Chain A
Amino acid sequence: MTEITTEKARIGAPSAQPFIDGFTEEGESLSPINAGSKAPLAGASAKSHSHGGGVGIPDSSRAGRLTSYKLADFKPLTGMEEDWRFTPLKRLRGLHSEVLAGAAPTVVVTGPEQVTVESVNRDDQRIGTAGIPEDRVSANAWENFAGATVVTIPAEFEALTEISVDIEGTSLEAAAQHLVIVAEKFSKAVVVLNHRGSAVVSENVEIIVEDGASLTVVSLQEWNDDAVHASSQQAKIGRDAKLKHVMVSLGGDLVRVTPSARFTAPGGEAELFGLYFADAGQHLEQRLFVDHAVPNCKSNVLYKGALQGRNAHAVWVGDVLIRKEAEGTDTYEANRNLLLTDGARADSVPNLEIETGLIEGAGHASATGRMDDEHLFYLMARGIPESVARRLVVRGFLNEIIQQIKVPSIEERLTEAVEHELALTDN
């Protein structure tokens, strides 16, 4: 026992041995095979939380993650992979295993006339500039998408109204989708991706924020109950450019979003916010990656989720990597979950890898819990009935994210959407 205690005392050090079979420092390993495996690269050793890069050990550093445009480079999924261990593969409806031949959800873009919207072929030179698939489902979409929509905010243009990209699903045949958003130099805009309807779709969204540009991307997942959605949203952030990314997942059977922000030049700033509300049976997964590869960039991540009902499942994995070159980095990431009923489950894994000590600051935090009794007492002591008080607290909890959007019409819509979710709690 003493040895294990010593081991645990070294913060961030991988445990030589899990305390409970199947549990590692990263949480529960959902694969039954891993727990008993004697293979050197399986189990806890393969999943260890390393800050040192760990050459040769798969998944030990976020920098070592396989990226490729080719589906064939990714092995078929088993559910044992680090980045798929929480995802119920059966419910992906073939996004990871089938040819994505279905019709992609329709895309309609509205916004100021200065903004250009193009439907382009696969060989358009802008495709592939912001991202390379990082997992099999994303690569599958890359391999199969027919055409892409490119939205360009011209240089130095400041959009006064938001640009809406309405993505409407009409079929449950597994499909691939591709979007490219380019905010040219010194432009300023808010782009809202509205995902609605019914779909089984793997989507790649490339976001290019050129030097000095300021872009807000809000991705709303308000799918019907039967939708399955995987979305890789990769952003490339230029010099002194600013990205605010807000991910909101409310509807759908399974929604798995993987936003990432990569700094390519100094002075960049990224804010990644997220809000999710998982109901009974829903699987809402968010895995994000912030790659500090250049000096003097800032990032701030805050994802907040509420869960209610049996088998409501939310997963949040936040990877922040500060590479050796990224001196002067300032970063913070946090995830908060509010469990409103029994039977819901939240997995939360903040990972912070730091390869240089010459940084401004780096922090990560995660908290999952029930509602604070003192909040309830305070409100109820003012005559507010318990059910109303609970709603107020949840609404307040999620408001912190909604308030970040700064587009009144969307804030209102989201507030309503949250109200709708809360109404379900009361039966």
Chain B
Amino acid sequence: MSTLEIKDLHVSIETEQGTKEILKGVSLTIRTGETHAIMGPNGSGKSTLASTIAGHPRYNVTSGSITLDGEDVLEMSVDERARAGVFLAMQYPVEVPGVSMTNFLRTAKTAIDGEAPKLRTWTKDVKAAMEQLRIDADFAQRNVNEGFSGGEKKRVEILQLELFKPKFAILDETDSGLDVDALKVVSEGVNRAHAEGKMGTLLITHYTRILRYIKPDFVHVFVDGQVVEEGGPELADRLEEEGYDRYAKGAGAAAAPVAAQA
């Protein structure tokens, strides 16, 4: 049983106009076996939260904490976080020219496990996982994400999720840009990983569509860098019907979103 705990997190970025605060005090606790959905309109800070947990250098944590089973995640380098069990399925996976998927997957697995995977079982595992995600076998020989379509990139992110077996999976808008078939395939992958019972999931999404396939235990609504409402799966249903308008209306264009809740 593991716990990923985010406490009063404040995050800013440097822009041409100066420092801009994106997250304004976010608290969230995720435990093994739980699925949390974070929903919110564009620009609410959902992806910033994901990238900050993974340690992207663009985001500065000005105050607050992130801990994994009590260990200070913010003190860890990007690769240390991954080895500690944090996995970020990226919204826009980058292409890494000249590095084959096979080589990349094996190198990463070796780094995460601290030892090289047994060649025979590893090759079999990769093959099976690729088949389940309907990724063509020839992708193994191709360079990381190079020339992959948007949907293919997302499937390959989930492939890594299934192979690396993290303690916590953060899915940053994995559903965006996917057609229904691809969405099902990707969701099944996440559910398979989750069913092993050793993973907590933070699902970040703009739309409720993916929540038909991945059932959240908790739903958190993000507006302007803060959680403005929390609830169970029924909150997602309500968002499906009503959208985010009611948050925006009360907030009066990002001036005082907290006041709207008060």
Contacts and interface: CB of A to CB of B under 8 A. Distances in A.
Interface of A: 372-375, 377-386, 388-389, 392-393, 395-400, 403
Contacts of B55: 381
Contacts of B77: 380, 386
Q: How large is the interface on B (under 10, 10 to 19, 20 to 34, 35 or more residues)?
A: 20 to 34
A398 B78 contact: no
B99 A396 contact: yes
Interface in B92-140: 93-94, 96-99, 103-104, 107-108, 111-112
Nearest to A389: B79
5 contacts: A383-B83, A385-B111, A392-B104, A393-B96, A396-B143
Interface in B74-100: 77-79, 81-83, 88, 90, 93-94, 96-99
A267 to B, nearest CB: 30
Given A375-B94, A386-B77, A380 B99 contact: no
Nearest to B79: A380
A395 B112 contact: no
B183 interface: no
Contacts of A374: 94
Nearest to A372: B94
Interface string B52-73: 0011110000000000000000
Contacts of A396: 96-99, 143
A400 B79 contact: no
A400 B83 CA distance: 30
Nearest to A397: B98
B201 interface: no
B164 A383 contact: yes
B108 A400 contact: no
A381 B111 contact: no
Contacts of A383: 79, 82-83, 108, 111-112, 164
B226 interface: no
Nearest to A384: B111
A396 B83 CA distance: 23
Given A392-B96, A392-B99, A395-B98, A381 B104 contact: no
Given A382-B104, A388-B111, A400-B98, 20 more contacts: A374-B94, A377-B78, A377-B94, A378-B96, A379-B99, A379-B108, A380-B82, A381-B55, A382-B160, A382-B164, A383-B111, A384-B82, A384-B108, A385-B111, A386-B77, A386-B79, A392-B99, A396-B97, A398-B98, A399-B99
Nearest to B95: A375
A159 B7 CA distance: 68
Given A380-B82, A383-B83, A385-B79, A397 B97 contact: yes
Interface of B: 54-57, 77-79, 81-83, 88, 90, 93-94, 96-99, 103-104, 107-108, 111-112, 143-144, 160, 164
B88 to A, nearest CB: 6
B112 to A, nearest CB: 4
Nearest to A373: B57
Given A383-B83, A383-B108, A388-B111, A378 B98 contact: no
A383 B113 CA distance: 9
A372 B79 CA distance: 16
A259 B160 CA distance: 44
Closest 5 CB pairs of A and B: A396-B98, A399-B98, A383-B82, A382-B108, A380-B78
Contacts of B83: 383
Contacts of A377: 56-57, 78, 94
A422 to B, nearest CB: 13
Contact of A392 (B54, B88, B107): B107
Given A396-B96, A396-B143, A378 B90 contact: yes
Nearest to B86: A381
A382 B77 CA distance: 12
Nearest to B103: A392
Contacts of B57: 373, 377
Contacts of A384: 79, 82, 107-108, 111
B82 A382 contact: yes
A392 B104 CA distance: 8
B111 A382 contact: yes
Contact of A378 (B94, B103, B112): B94
B246 to A, nearest CB: 35
A119 B217 CA distance: 81
Contacts of A386: 77, 79
A412 B48 CA distance: 42
Nearest to A398: B98
A395 B98 CA distance: 7
Nearest to A393: B96
